[in-house]
Structure 1
Amino acid sequence: MDKVEFAALVAGMTGVSAAAVISRDGIPLQVEGMSEDVADTVAALASGMCALAKRMNEEGNGVRHVHVVLADHDMVLLPTMSGAVLVVMRPGRNDESGIDVLRTAAVAL
């Protein structure tokens, strides 16, 4: 997926202010709506949290998503079929609504 396609995907996600695709080893592959510094920080966080969630669920059926709730927004980390992680930031949100739609987008990556 190129930068234009990723920007269109993010624009089509209701309530999402920023998003990134992060490689398994924590490298930002695609970024939309955040600075390079923020993307690097988010990449390290997403990579580590998803690896930890996967490790804690070795005998389960995988990780569906990791939901981080912050004071004024939330961040949803969604593993993709390729092993990368789709990270989305949603301002003013702190609930689980809409995550199924995001998961569908992540599966396509």
Structure 2
Amino acid sequence: MRGSPRIHAAVAGCVGWPEEVNNPQHRLRVPEAPTILMLHSRHDPANNYAWATGVHRQTRGRTVLVPYEGAGHSVYGRSDCTRDTVDDYLTDLKTPRAGSSCAAAEVN
């Protein structure tokens, strides 16, 4: 399992838990929904980018995944591109083209 030590500790604490899982893993089904914007950092220390691509694969046709090429957990506001992408989606329901991405912002 890849991820941060904090996540490992959280998951390991559940091993052997005597209760049934109330929300077991399952394939995602999004039968009827407007296109969902997924904006995810390629180098997120808490949520691996592979998880985002997994969700995107399972919801193909219902989601558009826009990777932010930089690091960080929160992406909105990291660059003009990330902010404009989210603002355009929320205010005008404008979805970016498949294959779009946002370049990493310069670190000051």
TM-based fold match above 0.5 = no
Q: What is the TM-score of this pair, normalised by structure 1?
A: 0.25
Compare CA radii of gyration and give the structure with the larger one: 2
Structure with more strand by fraction: 1
Structure with more helix by fraction: 1
Q: What is the TM-score of this pair, normalised by structure 2?
A: 0.25
